[in-house]
Chain A
Amino acid sequence: MSPDLKLGIFVAGGAYIGLLVLIGFLSRRARRDSSLADFYLAGRRLGPYVLLFTLFATQYSGNSLSGFPGQTYREGVAYYMSVTFMVGIVTGYLLFAPRLFRAARSGSFVTPSDFLASRFRNPVLNYLSATIFTVALLNYLLAQVMAMGHATAGLTEGRIPYWLGVVGGAAIILLYELLGGMRAVAWTDALQGAVLVAGLLLAVALLLSEVGSPATVLRQVAAVAPAKMASPSLALCLLWLSNFLLLFLGAPLYPQAIQRIYAARSLDDLRRALATMALLPHVAITTVIFIGVVGIALFPMADGFNADQITFKVLAYLVEHQPLAYVPVVVVMMAVVAAIMSTADSCLLSLSSILTKDFFGRIRGFGPADEARLARIAPVSSIAIMVAVTALAIRPLSTLWGLLVIKFEILIQLSPAFVLGTLHERSDATGYRGRDVLAGLGVGLAIALGLYAAGHPQLYGLHAGVVGVGANYLTCWASRRLRLGRRR
């Protein structure tokens, strides 16, 4: 890395952090009251543009920018499937989001489990769902905090060590989040989303000018690595479909995604933001895949090379060959950091809300009258979570990590509770009851975890979680039919 580029990264990084903290202070001044809804949901007043950027920045993590090109480099153009997955996540919202938004408005929900508590009134389901959300979020937050450390160490070539990147990044996120809660997170997401979009567009413009059109690059790939252009095998097509199902049903259930549904100012704003989100993967993900494809064309014989570093390798190539690439490359590198931070701050806020309201509030039997007390606990729980996650990121526990990698298989099991739960009002006697959903959840979890424990993470190409959620839906349906039949 040239000294100029190093200096550019330090200056841009410093300015970026300064802006984040400034936004934190501005969002603190915009706070209206000290309620939980104001801290965790920005007072339910997010407009369409901030909502779009915060959804975008939260959905596209650091993995999207550095992991997807790496995966494309390994698997070839078949990794175009990731565009489908990202579209599928937005399609998944069609199953329950509008009805959930209306329920959240009338019930003043703050956490995802608030909906389940209001709809099913089953304490076991409340605690089980909160635990599942915690497991899913802990994994995500831990991965992002670790990625922050790796990105900082990588971008500064080790001048800022991994542990300092972890501690420093965590401290900055914690600072602006404590200042403004969801409002700070959403506003910083808007900045991070803008950096992300600018970085991606600049990367594409640079690549097109340096290596030629996509067709030229693909011809090169076909010449140097024909296997990377081959049509996918049956196993890969099944995996493609299974991954799609996993994300279609599971990703919209991430607590930070559900809380953005709650935080929308109106359903109209939410639908405008999500309609745009449905089209964004064609630009954003196609761009990162193109970086991976360019990597195949430029570095076809890179045996033993860490594929996850392909983004940085392609950027370094650009800086070497295009003197004007210096500034855009700095923006792209900042975009990687922005993507990581924007996902981490959303996870932290959601985790804090679950710990405060679903666990602490419920165990202590706090009701609506105790909201001021819970709001005072909220910052404390954010600090406690970040300290614990930072410690884990510095010294990861392999057993915990092993448990957490299957989070998606577990999270997806909550799909029937939300999809079937929003189909009927609680007062509707023919609707699903807590025991139906709980029975399905039990069967789904047993199958998903059982298959995993038995060494079958996939069955006939389908993920254990997808097999489990199929059985989960069937059990819910059968349990309801049995109950209604008995009543007749």
Chain B
Amino acid sequence: MLLVVLCALGTAPFLFIGSEPVFVLGLPVWLWSSIGFTLALSLLTAWGVLRYWRDDPAESAGAADDDSGSTP
């Protein structure tokens, strides 16, 4: 969760306030920084969801053979 907070803080480019934009590969560095932190936040979230949300097998057993709601 600490990593999530750090990434969220990092998305706002505080370190680049007032500086002249320097371009790398066509994009300003402050934008690269925000893109990097946002991507890290996404990956952390996806990893957190997949890693820590565990299903109870007994809970889903009843619905396993029933997918009538999953397709039109």
Contact = CB atoms under 8 A, between A and B. Distances in A.
A124 interface: no
A32 to B, nearest CB: 8
A143 interface: no
B68 A30 contact: yes
Interface in A199-237: 213-216, 218-219, 222, 229-234, 237
A418 interface: no
Contact of A43 (B27, B34, B64, B69): B69
Nearest to A266: B60
Contacts of A49: 70-71
A279 B46 contact: yes
Given A234-B17, A237-B12, A267-B53, A77 B63 contact: no
Interface in A12-61: 23, 26-27, 30, 32, 42-50
B45 A87 contact: yes
Contacts of B19: 231
Interface string B45-69: 1101110111110011001101111
Nearest to A285: B38
A464 B29 CA distance: 32
Nearest to B69: A45
B54 A267 contact: yes
Contacts of B16: 231-232
A94 interface: yes
A183 B13 CA distance: 42
B46 A45 contact: no
Interface stretch (A268-276, A350-358, A364-372, A405-413): A268-276
A42 B68 CA distance: 10
Nearest to B41: A87
A278 B43 CA distance: 7
A47 B38 contact: no
A98 B55 CA distance: 9
- Decide if the interface of chain B is mainly helix, strand, loop or mixed: helix
Contacts of B66: 45, 265
B72 A23 contact: yes
Contacts of A274: 49
A268 B58 CA distance: 12
B35 A214 contact: no
Q: What is the interface residue range for chain A against chain B?
A: 35 or more
A94 B49 contact: yes
Contact of A232 (B17, B25, B55): B17
Contact of A84 (B17, B25, B41): B41
B17 A214 contact: no
Contacts of A186: 69
Interface in A58-95: 77, 80-81, 83-84, 87-88, 90-91, 93-94
A237 B17 contact: yes
Contacts of B49: 90, 93-94, 271, 274-275, 278
Given A49-B70, A278-B46, A266 B55 contact: yes
Interface string A98-139: 100010010000000000000000000000000000000000
Interface in A297-339: none
Given A232-B30, A275-B49, A278-B49, A91 B8 contact: yes
- Decide if the interface of chain A is mainly helix, strand, loop or mixed: helix
Contact of B45 (A90, A191, A233): A90
A46 to B, nearest CB: 5
Nearest to A30: B68
Interface in B1-15: 4, 8-9, 11-14
A187 B71 CA distance: 8
Given A240-B11, A278-B46, A77 B69 contact: no
A192 B6 CA distance: 35
Contacts of A266: 55, 59-60, 63-64
A244 B41 CA distance: 12
A229 B28 contact: yes
B13 to A, nearest CB: 6
Contacts of B50: 271-272, 275
For A42, A77, A91, the residue with the greatest tally of chain B CB atoms inside 10 Å of its CB is A91
Contact of A268 (B17, B31, B46, B55): B55
Given A84-B11, A240-B12, A266-B59, A47 B71 contact: yes
Given A102-B59, A233-B18, A244-B11, 8 more contacts: A32-B68, A49-B70, A87-B45, A94-B48, A216-B26, A232-B16, A241-B8, A265-B63
Nearest 10 A-B pairs (CB), nearest first? Answer: A215-B26, A47-B70, A45-B69, A266-B60, A278-B45, A267-B55, A271-B53, A240-B12, A231-B16, A268-B55
Interface of B: 4, 8-9, 11-14, 16-19, 21, 23, 25-28, 30-31, 34-35, 37-39, 41-46, 48-50, 52-56, 59-60, 63-64, 66-72
Interface of A: 23, 26-27, 30, 32, 42-50, 77, 80-81, 83-84, 87-88, 90-91, 93-94, 97-98, 102, 105, 183, 186-187, 190-191, 213-216, 218-219, 222, 229-234, 237-238, 240-241, 244, 248, 265-268, 270-272, 274-276, 278-279, 281-282
